[in-house]
Chain A
Amino acid sequence: MQHVIRRSGAIILLTFSVATAAETPADFIARFQAEARQSDQHFTASSARGQHFFNSVHANDWSCSSCHTKNPAAQGRHAKTGKSIDPLAPSANTERFTSNRSVEKWFRRNCGDVLGRACSAAEKADVLAYLMSIKP
């Protein structure tokens, strides 16, 4: 009886840990791309478009690069407070784009701050394509 309980406990634990496992940048870009294709079936994430978007000044006089700099593999700096920000490019910072909660939160906040609106799935896919193209 005990070994049955232990085994089912282990299975439950394994399932739970798989369900909440950290994702990878590749997982995120696949998801954003799939979501973007619901509106535009021909959509393909573009690193060039992502770079342009990243460096463009949007509604609130900021660009993504205002804080994350034009070289996302470098240390960034908050445009207002001056606080140092760890690199955004996954090649320079292995913690980036590994947590769904974190990715959702920062896109929500930062797109709101920079664009004054939510980023679309296509925009997120493009930005991530750009970030993933950066070598350390």
Chain B
Amino acid sequence: MNSIKRAISPLVLCVVPLLTVAGITTVVRAEDDEDERETPFNIENTVYRQECGSCHVPYPPELLSTESWTGILSNLNDHFGSDASLDDDSARQIAEFLQTNSSTRRTNDDNGKPSHRISDTVWFKQAHRPGHDGLKPGIFQSAAVKSAANCEACHRNAAAGDYSENNLRIPAPTGNPSER
């Protein structure tokens, strides 16, 4: 029994760190510190920020696949209940920017279709699951946050594509400014 333990423990000492490192670079991971993205996402396109950053924060193209973005752009007349239609020139520029900077992974919803909601993707749900990293159940429906579409409520510098841990502060659910 002891000899088995002695054989196993060096193996465990090597494999566990390797798995942790591998975990940092994959989508699904057990540790919570690696969820934050320390370098800013690329949202550096003026037309995109102007046309797609008024009603919600300009979402990083990298958070959805090309298929997901194409689906969204082809349905702008009814964009989650609103008319977000674009003039042809803006549409072309935005499509190019999104496709160039989109995720190389699939971002399908539970039905296997390219998701139109970042908050429906596997990665998002994992990183924002209740009880994880200080996220209380119901936080996304609270007065302070209102919606999982409202990244800025917690990711204070999301408007700059910055989702780093430094600028992450979960507000009190009541939205009381003195508690922020």
Residues of A within 8 A of B (CB): 77-78, 80-85, 108-109, 112-113
Contacts and interface: CB of A to CB of B under 8 A. Distances in A.
Interface in B5-42: none
B81 A80 contact: yes
B147 A113 contact: no
Contacts of A113: 81-83
Interface stretch (B94-102, B127-135, B149-157): B149-157
B82 A82 contact: no
B84 interface: yes
B152 A84 contact: yes
B147 A81 contact: yes
A62 to B, nearest CB: 10
A84 B57 CA distance: 9
Contact of B57 (A77, A83, A108, A109): A83
B152 A83 contact: yes
Given A81-B56, A81-B150, A83-B55, 6 more contacts: A78-B56, A80-B149, A83-B54, A83-B152, A109-B85, A113-B81
B147 A82 contact: yes
Contacts of A108: 83
A108 B55 CA distance: 15
Interface in B81-114: 81-85
A83 B150 CA distance: 6
B145 interface: yes
Interface string B109-140: 00000000000000000000000000000000
B83 A81 contact: no
Interface of B: 54-57, 80-85, 145-147, 149-150, 152-153
Nearest to A112: B83
Contacts of B150: 81-83
A80 B80 contact: yes
A80 B55 CA distance: 9
Contacts of A83: 54-57, 149-150, 152
B146 A81 contact: yes
25 contacts: A78-B56, A80-B55, A80-B81, A80-B82, A80-B147, A80-B149, A81-B56, A81-B146, A81-B149, A82-B145, A82-B146, A82-B149, A82-B150, A82-B153, A83-B56, A83-B57, A83-B149, A84-B152, A85-B54, A109-B82, A109-B83, A109-B85, A112-B83, A113-B81, A113-B83
Most buried by B among A77, A82, A84: A82
6 interchain residue pairs of minimum CB distance? A82-B146, A82-B150, A81-B56, A81-B149, A112-B83, A113-B82
Q: Which of B55, B83, B150, B152 has the most CB of A within 10 A?
A: B55
